[in-house]
Amino acid sequence: VSQSRYTAPNFISLDDQVLRYRFLIDVQGNGYSGRLKLLLGGPRLVFVQQRIPRDFLFESIKPWKHFVPIREDFSDLIDNYNTVVENPVLEESIIHSARSHSAKNLTPEAAIWRWAKLLNQFTTVGRIQQSRSLSNA
């Protein structure tokens, strides 16, 4: 089966995007995407469109530390772009912070730890509820 059947004529792989562009924009979609998690580990600054709902990643990353925020309507994109272009130290700092965060928190080991923590919370809540039920009986 030809690969061209499954890709658009102007398709650019994620790897090629990272190699080709200085800045990347992560745009909100209609479902789950792991793209932002991959982009934060790369050597490029990422602009992130505001979005709801947010997944677990947004509990630990901070605007202007790990990414450049942009409003949902993109109305501040040019201003935020200019801020970064005019301040290469800020650009490098954000890239470094994002990559460090990614290397520490977006690994298979970190995912397993997060699952274990969540499962422990659910079992703890279940035990508390069960204990309350038994003491009220």
77-85 vs 88-105: helix crossing angle, rounded to 10: 100
Please report, in tens digits, the pLDDT of each residue of the chain (137 residues total). 455 555 788 888 888 988 899 999 999 887 667 889 999 999 999 999 998 867 888 889 999 999 999 999 999 999 999 999 999 999 999 999 999 999 999 999 998 998 898 888 888 766 666 666 666 66
Question: Which burial class, exposed, middle or buried, applies to 70 when counting CB atoms under 10 A from its CB (0-12, 13-18, 19+)?
Answer: buried
